[in-house]
Amino acid sequence: MRKTLVFTLLAGAAGAAIWRRAAGSPREQVQLLFDDGSSIALDAGREEADRLLPLARDVLSAARSGT
């Protein structure tokens, strides 16, 4: 019985942590994919990403509006 209680508490804590992470605000990032199959992800706040994010927003906005 005690093992079941401990397992239930641990599973609940893990589930809560996963739920909180998934429910958090999405982070913006730029992902660059290269011809050789390599890639790099730049999180918002980095100089390189901050230059590319406005361009990416414009491209996504145009694609969504169909223009």
- What's the pLDDT score for residue 21? 64
How many structural domains comprise the chain? 1
With a cut of 70, list the residues of the chain below it in pLDDT: 1-3, 5-7, 9-11, 13-14, 16-17, 19-26, 67
Residue numbers of the domain that contains 29: 2-65
Task: Give the 3-state DSSP-derived string for the chain, with helices as H, strands as E and coil as C.
Answer: CHHHHHHHHHHHHHHHHHHHHHHCCCCCEEEEECCCCCEEEEEECEHHHHHHHHHHHHHHHHHHHCC
Q: In whole angstroms, what is the distance from residue 66 CA to residue 16 CA?
A: 39
- What's the pLDDT score for residue 36? 92
- What's the pLDDT score for residue 24? 63
